[in-house]
Each structure stands twice: as structure tokens, then as C-alpha cells.
Amino acid sequence: MRLLTHNMLSSNIKGVTNGFPLLIEAVKVVEKEVDFNEDFLKNMFVKVEWKALVEASRTLGYTELPESAEASMLDSDEFLRKFHHALLELHLEDGALVCPETGRKFPVSKGIPNMLLHEDEV
Amino acid sequence: MWYLCVFFHRLLEYRKSEFESLAGLFEGRGGATALEWRLPEDHHPDSPFHFVNLPSDELAVSIASRSILVKGIYELWGEGGSFEELEESIKSYPDDRKLPYISPGSTFKITVESFGKAISSEEQKDRMHKLEFISFKGRVNLKNPDHRFCLMANNDYGSNNGLPSAVQMRMFFGRELGGADRKILQTYELKSRKYLGPTAMDAEIAFLMANHAQVKPGKLVYDPFVGTGSILVAASHFGAMTMGADIDIRVVRDGRGPECNVWSNFKQYGLPMPISLLRADNNLPPWRSGLKEIFDAIICDPPYGVRAGGRKSGGRKLLKGVIGPYTVPDDKRTDHIPSTAPYSLVECVHDLLDLGAKMLVMGGRLVYFYPILRDEGSGEPTFPEHPCFEMIATCEQILSYRYSRVLVTMVKVAPYTEDIESAARAQHLEFRENHNKWMEDGNLHSAVFSPVDDVNVNGSGEKFSSKPKYRGKYV
């Protein structure tokens, strides 16, 4: 599961007011190379919640992302590469995503998060 | 300028909409693109030959080479109902348009083709030689010519194979600008796909869906019913980043083993892996509330309950209503597999439209298959609507005597607001009430599979008059 995905997900259990961002319990982290696409990164930059991305990347062991970011930084190739790496190349193979309010764990296995709610969470 | 567009004679309803979607893609325009089309004299709309008005050669080539159904697009040098007429027509075509392509030092090749009637190679050579009046100064190169020409004939084939006969034969001669690269169909054919499921999308149709969705490099494409990933493979081939979700975790995560799963399907073709695959319920999606307008296209084949039924979260609580909430004991929670409830097609499509309305960028396309029963009798089938979307095209593919699936292409034209949500809900309920008696839960399945006698036949017995007889699954 990549951090781009993590940035889109929240715990939508009934009764939870803010299930974003999910905390990450990392058991196995892998780095996988992805082709660099500048247009895609620039489009995604606008959609991403930056703080959540920085937090998540630190949990996975990557500390290069700046605390805050603005659009002007997209002109720097160095920044784009770091952004690319954190967003697309860090991969949570096994672990869990934890709801910040209830502590409920959404398992991640073989890189696939299981976001299905149980019968009483619906 | 008018070009002669010759389509492959298959998937007839998909041809023009694919062409127009690609025109919009290459011109960089969102929304619907309506091109000017004209039929040659006396031709039937199902004929492969059409004239289309395009602003440039470049656009014509781009569209044709990316398409699946354009056999060739030509600069027309002449046409006629007989060879004499054709010769006259070619002679009167301006020299300054012809000379650059028949000059000495260039190479060329002429192909002779006949639609509706086979001609022997003798006959082909004969016709080719009749073109000697066009003084070709270049050399012939059959393997890799600079310029390609085609002499085509559309014949009077009688009414034997069902196509209405052209009143008379018509011949066309043109310089070829480009055509579809159908070799990719062989590369991606399902026969050699590593991981297949029962409803994996046929490669040709998957590419058509990607073309209708105007997929291109750098775009993000989402499939909420990803299954084995057959639709995403097509989108990935055209350069998009892909994402998929499915409620069945076995299909998405496990496949049939470490060498036979969704990932291996992409590895097989050297395509970039999907950015993410997740297990999610489209009825209760896991997106954070602030997330919107992130997908450039949503392309999918929702479960319609005929060969694969849809499921959503909820299980017994929703099914029976009276039973109290089913609470999972804490010690069983980690491995608990939530039960799921049946998911009707109408609700599924409503959720899909809702997803698209929130998550598609403005001008982004929603492309999906919708089943229809062929004996609806009264007039045109109706499709679900949504205030955020404008309908671009509906392309029917007849699957059996009794039902078809229609590829629906919609474009997002209005941003999502709370008002829109209530208007959409109202539209959905109205649609469900008035148009979908057959589609609810089990009914589509039984309508398709029950013996003919059980199906509701109106008195006259005349049911399927709307489409001509030669229409089948691939035409």
C-alpha cells in the first residue's frame, strides 16, 4: 500500500467524526521503484494532505520530506524526487491502519488494505 | 477537410463514439465532441465507409492509430459508381495535392480491397493496372513504402448476409494516412492472460472502454470493481496510472497464487503496476471526506447479477431488519470476515454515479457497462441519470437473444454540492420506481436464463425488431 493510497483513506465507521489520517502500524516496509512522471506528481500535489503524508512517511522510515510545502516548491527537481519517493515508492506490505478515534485496526496484507467494515460498524 | 474513414465491420455502435472520443482527446477538449459525418451516396449507416470532417492530417493520423475500429483513414483522391467515374474523379483532383506523393525518389504501395465480395488476385492486379493513368514516378516498395494507397470497392452483395444492399457498387481511391494497430489485441488477448476471472473484460472491449474514457499518460484511472484487473491493463497500456478496488479480497490480494494474481497480469506485459489495489465496498467507500476530484476517469464493469452478483457491506442486519445488530466478540475480531448483503444493480449504479460525481475531475469521464433486456418493447432504453453528468454515448453490444449490455460514456459537467446530492437521490428513486422493474435483484438473472416460454411476451410475438438481423455479439 502506497502513501498516496493512505492519504485518501479514512475510517468511516459509524459514529466516528474524523477518521483521517489513519495511524500506521508497520510490520513490513518495502521500497519499489516507480517511473517518474512530473505531470502526475504536480496533479497529485494539489490533492494531497501534506501533513498526513509527512507523518506517514516518517512512520515508514523516510525523513526527507519538509514539514510544509507549497506549489512553488514543485519547480525544484530535488523536491519532486523526494515527493515522488514518499508518495509512490514507499510500500507497506504488511501491517495495519488504525482508526484514530476507535483504535480499530484495518489490516494490510500483501500490500492490500482491507477497508471493509464489520456488520456493527455500518 | 473531408476524409474517408473506413471502419472495421464490427462493434458497429462503438465506432463513431470511439472516433469522437479520440478526437476530443487529441484536441485537448473536454466534454462531448460532435464531428461532422457524411455517408457516401446510397450507403447505409452500418456501412464501413464514412466521410468525416477533420481540421488536419495530424489529427486524422492520431485518432486512427490510437483507435481499435478504424481500418484506415484516407485522403480521398476520387470516387465513383464505375471505374470510368472513378478515373474522371481522380483526374479532376488537384495536382498540387497529388504530386508530392507520386514524385520520383519516393516509394509507394497500392492495395486493392473489396467489401462484401471477394475478388481474386487476378482481378486485384487488373484493377491496380487500371490506375496507371495516375503517373506514379516513384518506386514500388511492398514492405515499407513512404506512401500507401488503397483502391476500395463497396459492392452490391445482395441481401444474403443480411446487410441491405448498396444500390450500386461504389469505388474509392485514397492515400492512406493511418489505421488501427490491432496487433495489440493479439498481445493482450485473454487466452494468454496469466490470471483470469469469469468476468474478465475482453481485450478489444477493454481498449474501447479506455478510448471512450480518453485515457492518456499521466492520468489517474480508477476501477471500483477491479476483479482481475483486465480493464486497468488496457488503461495502463495507454500510459495511465491505475487504481482498483474490489469487495472480494481473494481476487484482489491472493489471486490464484504468488505467480498468478492481478500483479502478475501487469508483469506479463511489462506494464507499470497499479498504484494501489484495495478491498473496499463501493456502497460504503473508505475515502476521507475532504477528498474530491482526484480521478481523471472511472472505467468499470459493475456486477449486474447475471454472471456475477454484486455484494455490499451489512450482512444479516440489513437482510432481515428485525434482528438486533450483530456484534462481533472482541476476541474474534481480527480474523472476522464480514458478511455481505445482496447489492441490486440500480443501487450499485447509483453509488457509481455518486462516486463519479465526487471523485472525478471536471471533464472527467465515467465509462461503464449497463445491461438491458432486449424486449423492453416500447422505444429506447433509459439509463440512470445524475445532475453532475452529461451523457456522451451509449453503445449496445448484443449478448444473447434476450439481453445486451450497453457501454455508457458520461462526462462530469458540474461540481458536487449538497443540493446536487438530494437532487441525485430523487432522480435515483424515480428511476428505480419507473424504469427498472426487471432489473431489481433476481429478476434480470431469471429474465436472461429462464426458458423462453416464461418470459413475458406481448401478444404479437414480435419482440426484437429494433436491430437488424446481422447484429450479434461482435457486430
DSSP one-letter code for B261:
S
For the beta sheet containing B389-398, the strands, ordered from the edge strand earlier in sequence to the opposite edge, are B276-279, B241-246, B220-223, B295-300, B360-373, B403-412, B389-398
Tell me the C-alpha distance between B2 and B56, whole Å.
10
Determine the residue of chain A that is closest to B281 in CA distance: A116
- Amino acid B389 reads F
DSSP one-letter code for B301:
-
DSSP one-letter code for B168:
S
Higher pLDDT, B67 or A122: B67
Running along chain B, 475 residues long, what does each successive block of 10 average in pLDDT? 95 95 89 88 87 96 96 96 93 93 92 88 92 91 94 70 63 95 95 92 96 95 95 97 93 88 94 94 90 95 79 59 53 68 83 95 96 72 90 92 91 90 83 65 67 51 56 76
Which candidate in A17, A23, A38, A122 is best for mutational testing of the B interface (most B CBs within 10 A)? A122
List, in order, residues 6 or more apart from A122 with CB less than 8 Å away. A14, B284, B313, B314, B317, B318
Sketch the domain layout of chain B as residue ranges.
2-181, 185-447
- Interchain CB distance below 8 Å, A119 and B325: yes
DSSP bridge pairs for B70 = B7
Torsion of CA B30, B36, B39, B40, to 10 degrees: -120
> How do residues A51-91 score in pLDDT, each as one tens digit?
999 999 999 999 999 999 888 998 999 999 999 999 999 99
CATH architecture type of domain B185-447: 3-Layer(aba) Sandwich (3.40)
Closest C-alpha among B405, B370, B363, B404 to residue B385: B370
Intra-chain end-to-end CA distance of chain B, in Å: 29
Q: What pLDDT is attached to residue B327?
A: 62
| C-alpha grid cell, residue A120 | 456493527
CB A117 within 8 A of CB A106: no
| Cβ neighbourhood burial of B149 (10 Å; 0-12, 13-18, 19+) | buried
Question: What average pLDDT does the structure give for chain B?
Answer: 86
Three-class DSSP category at B386: coil
Q: What pLDDT is attached to residue B378?
A: 52
Which candidate in B284, B293, B335, B362 is best for mutational testing of the A interface (most A CBs within 10 A)? B284
- In CATH terms, is domain B2-181 a member of 3.30.1490.190? no
List, in order, residues 6 or more apart from A88 with CB less than 8 Å away. A2, A3, A4, A34, B275
| Cβ neighbourhood burial of B198 (10 Å; 0-12, 13-18, 19+) | exposed
Question: What average pLDDT does the structure give for chain A?
Answer: 92
Tell the residue number behind the cell numbers 449507416, with chain if given. B45
Q: What angle do CA B211, B216, B221 make, to 5 degrees?
A: 80
DSSP bridge pairs for A112 = A109
Three-class DSSP category at B244: strand
- Amino acid A61 reads G
Q: How far is A95 from chain B (nearest CA, A)?
A: 12
- Interchain CB distance below 8 Å, B275 and A19: no
In a 13 Å sphere around the CA of B162, the CA atoms on its Cβ side amount to 8
Q: What pLDDT is attached to residue B373?
A: 83
Residue A35 has its nearest CB partner, among B219, B220, B272, at: B272
| Cβ neighbourhood burial of B462 (10 Å; 0-12, 13-18, 19+) | exposed
Write the ipTM: 0.94
Which H or E run contains B405?
Answer: strand B403-412
> How do residues B267-282 score in pLDDT, each as one tens digit?
999 999 999 999 999 8
CB B267 within 8 A of CB A29: no
Tell the residue number behind the cell numbers 483513414, with chain if given. B73
Determine the residue of chain B that is closest to A34 in CA distance: B272
| C-alpha grid cell, residue B108 | 509507394
Percent of all residues in chain A with a pLDDT value above 90, rounded to a whole number: 80
SS (H, E, C) B148-167: EEEEEEECCCCCCCCCCCCC
Which H or E run contains A57?
Answer: helix A50-59
Residues of B with CB below 8 A from A118's CB?
A: 328, 333, 336, 338
- Interchain CB distance below 8 Å, B285 and A116: no
| Strand spans (E) along B14-100 | 37-38, 49-53, 70-80
Tell me the C-alpha distance between A87 and A74, whole Å.
14
Tell me the C-alpha distance between B63 and B305, whole Å.
36
| C-alpha grid cell, residue B141 | 516498395
> How do residues B425-459 score in pLDDT, each as one tens digit?
888 888 877 765 555 555 667 777 776 654 444 44
DSSP bridge pairs for B313 = B340
Two domains, one topology: B2-181 and B185-447: no
- Kindly report the backbone phi and psi dihedral angles of residue A25, in degrees, each rounded to the nearest multiple of 5, phi listed first: -105, 110
Cis omega before residue B45 (within 30°)? no
